[in-house]
Chain A
Amino acid sequence: MVAQLQQGSETAFRTLVERYQDRIYRTVLALLRSPEEAEDVAQEVFVEVYQTISRFRGEAALTTWLYRLATSRALKQQRRARARKRFAYLTSLLGFDNRVLYEPADNDHPQAQLEGRQQVEVLRAHIARLPDQQQVAFTLRHEQELSYEEIAAVLSTTVSAVESLLFRARKTLRHHLQPTLRHV
């Protein structure tokens, strides 16, 4: 398939998109929380694949390369969104735009957290606050159910480093979520 893609075959590209679209979209959605942003980033990933496939030398598996592109683009989008949020907050402080002052906080009333959906939202908010590599490792392990070896390949690191990343991510998340869980 890679050879066909490198020759510019549209059929091969269509096959690639249809084969991987669910995995890429879900990975990005798990990191971004917004379906619109996830769709946008997933599209960008496939466009980048088409445009740069000639440089793909096959050192990594195609799947690994796709996950690498998807997670790095999703994290980039996340940083952009954070910067926008900070800018909006600053402008609201200066009185240019008061709407942001009334934006709901990540953690609503404790009673509302009893709802399963709210709890998931809290979990997602805490995942987004993890360091980049922990976010990626956690998402690939628990959402995509990738093996430690596969995650290590995506992150260009060792299996023991992945174990450490996952241990720290779980520990942080459980520490933050424990009070919420105890209320159930």
Chain B
Amino acid sequence: MSDSSTRPNADEEWENLLHQWQTEVAVPPRPYFYGRVHARLVNATGAKHPPLRTWRHWPAYAVMLGILLLLSGDDAGLHAVSGVQESNHQPEASFSGE
């Protein structure tokens, strides 16, 4: 059993407890904190940009695809267009051919 005459009063106990709490949280972050913040910042910035860049690339991809179709050896691009026209005229051709 504790002796009440030697026991510090409630205010003192409170102050001691506060002091213990202050001591416990008075720790710095782990070393190289800035390095980790910087890495996080780079990640955050990097994550924001790709969708924007992808958007910028889309017209270029469309133009490249068009050029590839036009320049391809078997005239796939032209056939693709003329094929549609031929298929529209085909019933007449087959009729006259008979």
A residues adjacent to B (C-beta < 8 A): 14, 17-18, 21-22, 25-26, 29-30, 35, 38-39, 42-44, 46-47, 50-51, 116-117, 119-120, 123-124, 142-143, 174, 177-178, 181-182, 184
Contacts and interface: CB of A to CB of B under 8 A. Distances in A.
Interface string B25-45: 111111001101110110010
A176 to B, nearest CB: 12
A154 to B, nearest CB: 18
B75 interface: no
A29 B25 contact: yes
A119 B33 contact: no
A181 B18 CA distance: 12
30 contacts: A14-B34, A17-B37, A22-B28, A25-B29, A26-B25, A26-B26, A26-B28, A29-B27, A30-B21, A39-B29, A39-B33, A39-B36, A42-B29, A42-B33, A43-B33, A43-B37, A46-B37, A46-B41, A47-B41, A117-B20, A119-B17, A120-B17, A120-B20, A120-B24, A124-B21, A143-B26, A174-B10, A181-B14, A181-B17, A182-B10
A178 B10 contact: yes
A47 B48 CA distance: 13
A133 to B, nearest CB: 19
Nearest to A182: B10
Contact of A47 (B14, B24, B26, B37): B37
Contacts of B14: 174, 177, 181
For the residues of A in contact with B, the DSSP-based class is helix
Chain B interface category by residue count: 20 to 34
B7 interface: yes
B94 interface: no
B13 A25 contact: no
A46 B29 CA distance: 13
Contacts of A26: 25-28
A98 to B, nearest CB: 32
B90 interface: no
B2 interface: yes
B18 A142 contact: yes
Contacts of B18: 123, 142
A119 B20 contact: yes
A181 B13 contact: yes
A19 to B, nearest CB: 11
Contacts of A38: 29
Contacts of B30: 39
Contacts of A184: 2, 7, 13
B87 interface: no
